[in-house]
Chains A and B, each alone.
Chain A
């Protein structure tokens, strides 16, 4: 504290000590929240015995077994049968043979992952597109009962979505939407669109009308002005909204379990089924979860420039 006497105190600048404390707390929080992720990541590279050893192993010999098991299905065979196959083909074959098994074929992880991509990005796109259009309408036009409508839109979020699971299950079965990508896209869009309308309305309210009016005076139609002037300026809000929608759709588990089982199954309900396939295959689960995180991380990193401004929900301008 001796340095404090030599430097002038500023009322607005945080002191060096408080900055240090803030930095320490942020790092501490980051570390704590990263530990489970780090553990999942590490588990993906362990052998099954290492993954359940007690005390837990922090230092271990990395193994490809988790990733091999994730992408393949295997059958147990006799030693004689395995030897009759000739030399192992590739690293996975070798790892599998050590466990007295042979690769029977690819697992369902890749198709399930692709389902997740289609459903999550598709519903996010739809929710944001619908959201931005209706948010614009709510923001710019005199709509009868606008406040009540907005409240109604929000009220769809007031109960946990799973509360309507049974009716939706019955409805989907009736309509033939069960276990279809279209059904899941519609469902996630319906859940997300209320969030999207509310978030985006805030962002669009912040954009002065004068921008569109100027464009309309210059001869642009309202639709043109919307695309050329409003959308670019709402980019921040759209990015933030898209991330929230994507995270929900990507991680959604309960409806996915209920409504998908085969063709349209997404990754979240699929990953737990790995556990059952060949004993407690935690490394494969770790590997599957690690890969599952990647799209969200990539998407967030790509949009982070917008996000940093957008996530304050327009509270801080410019």
Chain B
């Protein structure tokens, strides 16, 4: 097991920059998720760490050694592909043993390791079956088996659950995290599914257009998003943005949206007059008839214990998550108040966050 350090990594495909100056460190034994929409460069980043793709510039260190230009086979890592890449001409046992064979390991040692991997993943009963007839979950486990027999420095996984149906994905998420907790293996995991990321990661790197926008724990990313992109990408329904014009000075803890004066965490920087966006999570909105921020109820989505109420306001549409016991009729006018300590502010122009008390004590991306 080892630490992975990525420094200033850049990858171009011709004119197109797929990964822009990424830097992050995965501590020994950490489970890090690269999260982002399709095409943002997650796979490219992972493939560079694996050695399947050479970076245009930057460095990659594995356990302190610079491996930027080492061949994939020399890096002692395991890679789990989305399609699992199980060899159809071999059975399960041969598939799992395949990585060991080229190391010239003794037969008895190979057998011991394969048996152990089978036991850890609970696939002992299918070891002698051909891979073609296996279910998605079993294929997944065999692919993991092939990764863990090597006892490599780290695991790299590219959407390993992408091919499974959503229900089963949830089960496998739990299994994967359980496996990681037992093996304590440094893991980099790529997905575009925020729920997968939130439920498994020690740390999440949120990527957008080749840039890592924020690299922090799931809680941090959810509560203190450093950009509108991160705020929007994480959370379901996503964060509401109320757009308004204003200038702010350090120490301000109130903003004016039309008539309404809304409390916010104290601002820590001077902001010249510009279009701003007030970020509010749906669960931080309450109906409050005393509030002067008003809107008209557009519709309600019932979710069991909670419901999502959509309200049209002068500053844009807002989705609020409330207990499902509150009854609001479509078309009725309501007042909204927010949980002041939890609000974030962004510059609408570049989506960057405005420093405030909210971010204090947090690592800034």
Interface residues, chain A, CB within 8 Å of chain B? 208, 210-211, 213-221, 224, 229, 232-233, 235, 318
Smallest beta-carbon distance A268→chain B, Å: 37
Smallest beta-carbon distance A165→chain B, Å: 43
Smallest beta-carbon distance B281→chain A, Å: 39
With a cutoff of 8 Å between Cβ atoms, the chain A residues found around residue B98 in the complex are 215, 218
Give the number of chain B interface residues (Cβ < 8 Å).
24
Q: Does B87 contact A218, Cβ atoms closer than 8 Å?
A: no
Q: When A and B form their complex, what is the total count of cross-chain residue pairs whose Cβ atoms lie within 8 Å?
A: 54
CB < 8 Å neighbour of A218 from B83, B89, B102: B102
Q: Does B87 contact A217, Cβ atoms closer than 8 Å?
A: no
With a cutoff of 8 Å between Cβ atoms, the chain A residues found around residue B89 in the complex are 232-233, 235
A sample of 30 inter-chain contacts (CB < 8 A) reads: A208-B85, A211-B85, A211-B87, A213-B52, A213-B72, A214-B81, A214-B85, A216-B52, A216-B71, A216-B72, A217-B50, A217-B52, A217-B73, A217-B75, A217-B77, A218-B98, A218-B99, A218-B146, A219-B73, A219-B74, A219-B102, A220-B73, A220-B102, A232-B87, A232-B89, A233-B87, A233-B88, A233-B89, A235-B89, A318-B132
CB < 8 Å neighbour of B79 from A217, A219, A224: A217
Q: Summarize A's interface: helix, strand, loop or mixed.
A: helix
B78 lies within 8 A of chain A by Cβ: yes
Complex CA distance for A216 and B71, rounded to whole angstroms: 9
Complex CA distance for A296 and B51, rounded to whole angstroms: 46
Smallest beta-carbon distance A230→chain B, Å: 10
Q: Does B88 contact A217, Cβ atoms closer than 8 Å?
A: no
Q: Give a binary string over B132-175; 1 marks a CB under 8 Å from any A CB, 0 the rest.
A: 10000000000000100010000000000000000000000000
Q: Does A229 contact B52, Cβ atoms closer than 8 Å?
A: no
B103 lies within 8 A of chain A by Cβ: yes
**Sample of 19 more A-B contacts, CB < 8 Å, known A216-B72, A232-B87:** A208-B85, A210-B85, A211-B87, A213-B72, A213-B79, A213-B85, A216-B71, A217-B72, A218-B78, A218-B99, A218-B102, A218-B150, A219-B99, A219-B102, A221-B73, A229-B87, A232-B89, A233-B88, A235-B89
With a cutoff of 8 Å between Cβ atoms, the chain A residues found around residue B72 in the complex are 213, 216-217
Q: Summarize B's interface: helix, strand, loop or mixed.
A: loop
Complex CA distance for A217 and B146, rounded to whole angstroms: 11
Q: Does B81 contact A213, Cβ atoms closer than 8 Å?
A: yes
With A216-B72, A219-B73, A221-B73 known as contacts, the answer to whether A210 contacts B81 (CB < 8 A) is: yes
With A232-B89, A233-B89 known as contacts, the answer to whether A210 contacts B83 (CB < 8 A) is: yes
Complex CA distance for A224 and B98, rounded to whole angstroms: 12
With A232-B89, A233-B88 known as contacts, the answer to whether A216 contacts B73 (CB < 8 A) is: yes
Q: Does B85 contact A218, Cβ atoms closer than 8 Å?
A: no
Considering only CB atoms, which chain B residue lies closest to A212 in the complex?
B85
With a cutoff of 8 Å between Cβ atoms, the chain B residues found around residue A217 in the complex are 50-52, 72-73, 75, 77-79
Complex CA distance for A156 and B186, rounded to whole angstroms: 54
With A213-B52, A218-B150 known as contacts, the answer to whether A208 contacts B83 (CB < 8 A) is: yes
Which 5 interchain pairs have the tightest Cβ spacing? A218-B99, A210-B85, A219-B73, A232-B89, A210-B81
Smallest beta-carbon distance B217→chain A, Å: 29
Complex CA distance for A235 and B89, rounded to whole angstroms: 10
Considering only CB atoms, which chain A residue lies closest to B76 in the complex?
A219
Q: Does B79 contact A214, Cβ atoms closer than 8 Å?
A: yes
Smallest beta-carbon distance A194→chain B, Å: 28
Complex CA distance for A211 and B95, rounded to whole angstroms: 11
Complex CA distance for A216 and B78, rounded to whole angstroms: 10
Residue with the greatest number of chain B CB neighbours at <10 A, chosen from A210, A214, A219, A221: A214
Smallest beta-carbon distance A210→chain B, Å: 4
Smallest beta-carbon distance B67→chain A, Å: 13
Complex CA distance for A318 and B89, rounded to whole angstroms: 12
Smallest beta-carbon distance B195→chain A, Å: 25
Considering only CB atoms, which chain A residue lies closest to B90 in the complex?
A232
Complex CA distance for A301 and B89, rounded to whole angstroms: 21
Smallest beta-carbon distance A52→chain B, Å: 54
Smallest beta-carbon distance A1→chain B, Å: 41
With a cutoff of 8 Å between Cβ atoms, the chain A residues found around residue B87 in the complex are 211, 229, 232-233
Smallest beta-carbon distance A289→chain B, Å: 39
With a cutoff of 8 Å between Cβ atoms, the chain B residues found around residue A208 in the complex are 83, 85
With a cutoff of 8 Å between Cβ atoms, the chain B residues found around residue A218 in the complex are 73, 78, 98-99, 102, 146, 150
Complex CA distance for A51 and B71, rounded to whole angstroms: 70
Complex CA distance for A219 and B104, rounded to whole angstroms: 11
Residue with the greatest number of chain A CB neighbours at <10 A, chosen from B75, B88, B102, B132: B102
Q: Give a binary string over B38-55; 1 marks a CB under 8 Å from any A CB, 0 the rest.
A: 000000000000111000
Complex CA distance for A279 and B179, rounded to whole angstroms: 84
